[in-house]
């Protein structure tokens, strides 16, 4: 599947060994994780709104 040329973030494993990471690498990983958490929370709220709208429609 073509992603339209969007750069893909580097995957990493949760609970991976952190011994080889520099402070800068850790900061970068924290930034990525915080951005992903924000994205997930926004999507959750969007889906909750859609779900609630559908429930309201079908209950009326």
**Sequence-separated (6 or more) residues with CB below 8 Å from residue 9:** 32
Give the model's pLDDT for residue 6: 67
Per-residue pLDDT at 49 exceeds 90: no
Residue 26: name the closest of 40, 37, 12 by CA: 12
Distances (CA, A) of 10 to 7, 22, 49, 59: 9, 16, 31, 44
Token output for 28: 């970068």
Give the model's pLDDT for residue 50: 83
Q: Which pLDDT tens digit goes with each residue over 6-47?
A: 666 666 778 889 999 999 999 999 999 999 999 999 999 999
pLDDT confidence bin for 5, thresholds 50/70/90: confident
Average pLDDT rounded to a whole number, residues 35-60: 87
Residue 11: name the closest of 38, 35, 29 by CA: 29
pTM of the model: 0.63
């Amino acid at each position: 599947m073509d992603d339209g040329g969007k750069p893909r973030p580097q995957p990493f494993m949760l609970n991976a060994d952190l011994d080889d990471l520099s402070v800068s690498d850790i900061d970068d990983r924290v930034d990525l994780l915080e951005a992903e958490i924000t994205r997930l929370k926004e999507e959750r709220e969007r889906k909750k709104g859609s779900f609630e709208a559908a429930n309201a429609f079908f209950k009326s």
